[in-house]
Structure 1
Amino acid sequence: MEIDPRRLRVLLAIARTGGVLAAADELRITPSAASQQLNKLEDETGHALVVRTPRGSVLTPAGLAMAEAAEEIERALNVARARMEGGAELTGIVRVGGFTSFLRTIVIPRLPEWRLQYPQLQIRIVEDDLPALMRLLRQRELDAVVVELDSATAEQRSLPAGMSEEPLLDEPWKLVVPSGALLATENLDLARLPLPWLGVEATAANASVIGRLRRATGAQVETVHQYQETLTALALVAAGEGVAVVPALALSRVVQDGVDVLDVPGLGTRRVVLRRFDRRRSISMPVDTVARLLRESVAAFDTLVVAPRPGSAGHAERRAPS
């Protein structure tokens, strides 16, 4: 049996994504090219490696054996790369993806300290949206990804095979409104605010909050505009264009005139988690070290109390209708 090991990456991608189309997307090749490579690999092994079902592609026992061999090859290459990059101390490059507020407040301020503590360990930061980060993680172009979820809907999401998830932080969602807009309102009905909601990119955790409120109340929750960055949302709110739900962490050290930040029961919390593939399948020591550093940085950062500075967003409490 003579096998071209380059075809194994297609089988490994199918095992991780659950389908030929998804594997092709991860490898950035056409679906027909992925199918051709799989067919040739099956010809070379003399075994059916994948069974297609209505729910995706499932590896046969022979396919699982070949996928395990592909992972061994991937591990060996990672070992070789680590040895070339490293020395006697903890060495290597750990590539961490994440979203703006976490990187800005939790990670980047600690980089100089971590660099002194581990001079041979290089931590590379990639900022992007959730779909792009997860794609890079599955492609092994990132070693770990920090992900934001709406806590109330987090359990509805499933992880790809072999991926682990470690909780880092739970923090409250905040309602941001134009200054003075709701001062006379004692009890807030989140489904019937006098201003529209600002729209946010569909994969963001904020969007899950708005969707959850819409489903819980059965009311039509109007959204206007669409933003990605919290600073854009605050500017729109200050201009009187609408209201927004943002996490406490995103408001840290942010100065914005013309907005009030309200604590409202019913908004729930944002959950921040660290995702990576099973540490038993990789060179885990550098990644484990970075995961520990992230946990320590989160523990040292009080995200539940975001003290307003002069000229910054004010904070107040509001009660939801009983």
Structure 2
Amino acid sequence: MDIDPRRLRILLAIARTGGVLAAADELGITPSAVSQQLNKLEGETGHALVVRTPRGSVLTPAGLAMAEAAEEIERALSVARARMEGGAELAGVVRVGGFTSFLRAMVIPRLPEWRALYPQLQVRIVEDDLPALMRLLRQRELDAVVVELDSATAAQRQLPAGMSEEPLLDEPWKLVVPSGVLLTTENVDLARLPLPWLGVEPSAANASVVGRLRQSTGAQVEIVHQYYDTLTALALVAAGEGAAVIPALALSGVAQDGVEVLDVPGLGTRRIVLRRFDRRRPLSTPVDTVARLMRESVAAFDALDVAPRSGS
């Protein structure tokens, strides 16, 4: 497979912006140029990479694989550029908003390392719910916000004008039930769970998953309680109060006493993205450096640290 790597930036722009027109605007070229380069890339790979839908462009499995390769190349070039420019000279304050599981696993443990690499760069963390974080981003009181989405419903979102979205991670949703409540953990029927669903704070991606599952299965399952923190959800599940859908990352390093964590077909994945304004700035700015550091942290994260019990 002989590929011109310069065309990968076209595919990456489509993946990040969600469409050919938006990618063209992002790259500062015409939409026809984007389409031409995409067609050539598909010819080089021998695979369809993008499927156009009424809501935008969606990457095929082959397209996702190529986009991941493009991100690796971009990451390597960013590291090389930072080394050449001298990391110690990079200075400024970057204010990043996000949700608990990502900040706890991907950002906070790396802060000492980032301080050592860039002594003049200060990363300030704000943890809050999505509506509050997006309000702060629009008011420019935050430089970037880490957002969680249900991948199955992600295409329904609309970004404010001038805002970009960069994928960071896709991870599986897990079904969490009280220990021993299911007679078998094989071929779990989500429409026949002998438990109510635990309610979750409405802006959380989990809420979209529960709504999607109730609609797709046609089951009129009761929703009880409402939680915000994963530890609260696990405590409620362990007490036999209901079942919950929780992302794998949120279970990393968390005690799972009294519950079973299951891989169940149909749950889908959680997509974690980075939202910010003004992506056309040079890659050597503080906010771009922090974005790169977060991508590297995601790449280095050991998914085996999450050890769910599988129903298969």
Pair 1:286-2:286 in alignment: yes
Pair 1:176-2:176 in alignment: yes
Cα 1:251–1:185 shift into 2, 3 Å: closer
Deviates more, 1:113-122 or 1:254-263: 254-263
The whole-number CA distance in structure 2 between the counterparts of 1:190 and 1:202 is 21
The whole-number CA distance in structure 2 between the counterparts of 1:135 and 1:281 is 22
Name the counterpart of 1:245. Answer: 245
- Cα deviations by residue, 1:21-53 (Å, 9 ceiling, x for unpaired): xxxxxxxxxxxxxxxxxxxxxxxxxxxxxxxxx
Name the amino acid aligned to 2:215.
R
Cα 1:219–1:137 shift into 2, 3 Å: same
| Identity fraction in percent | 82
Pair 1:104-2:104 in alignment: yes
Q: Is the 8 A contact 1:251 1:306 kept in 2?
A: no
- Cα deviations by residue, 1:233-281 (Å, 9 ceiling, x for unpaired): 0000000111100000000000131011000010000000000002236
Name the counterpart of 1:127. Answer: 127
Equivalent position SS for 1:184: coil
The whole-number CA distance in structure 1 between the counterparts of 2:146 and 2:280 is 20
The alpha-carbon deviation at position 188 of structure 1 amounts to 1.5
The whole-number CA distance in structure 1 between the counterparts of 2:89 and 2:186 is 59
Question: Mind listing any 5+ residue stretches in structure 2 that lack a counterpart?
Answer: 1-86
The whole-number CA distance in structure 2 between the counterparts of 1:114 and 1:125 is 14
Q: Map 1:75-86; keep pairs closer than 5 Å.
A: none
Question: Mind listing any 5+ residue stretches in structure 1 that lack a counterpart?
Answer: 1-86, 309-313
- Cα deviations by residue, 1:1-23 (Å, 9 ceiling, x for unpaired): xxxxxxxxxxxxxxxxxxxxxxx
Name the counterpart of 1:74. Answer: none
Name the counterpart of 1:315. Answer: 309
Q: Is the 8 A contact 1:177 1:242 kept in 2?
A: yes
The alpha-carbon deviation at position 185 of structure 1 amounts to 4.9
The whole-number CA distance in structure 2 between the counterparts of 1:283 and 1:187 is 47
Name the counterpart of 1:29. Answer: none
Deviates more, 1:243-252 or 1:182-191: 182-191
Q: Is the 8 A contact 1:248 1:306 kept in 2?
A: no
Name the amino acid aligned to 2:300.
A
Q: Is the 8 A contact 2:175 2:246 kept in 1?
A: yes
C-alpha root-mean-square deviation of aligned residues, in Å? 1.8
Higher-Rg member (1/2): 1
The whole-number CA distance in structure 1 between the counterparts of 2:295 and 2:258 is 34
Counting matched residue pairs gives 226
Name the amino acid aligned to 2:249.
L
- Cα deviations by residue, 1:42-100 (Å, 9 ceiling, x for unpaired): xxxxxxxxxxxxxxxxxxxxxxxxxxxxxxxxxxxxxxxxxxxxx98100000000000
Name the amino acid aligned to 2:301.
F
Name the counterpart of 2:154. Answer: 154
The whole-number CA distance in structure 2 between the counterparts of 1:112 and 1:239 is 38
The whole-number CA distance in structure 2 between the counterparts of 1:185 and 1:109 is 34
Name the counterpart of 2:194. Answer: 194
Name the amino acid aligned to 2:130.
L
* TM-score normalized with structure 1 length: 0.67
The whole-number CA distance in structure 2 between the counterparts of 1:95 and 1:143 is 5
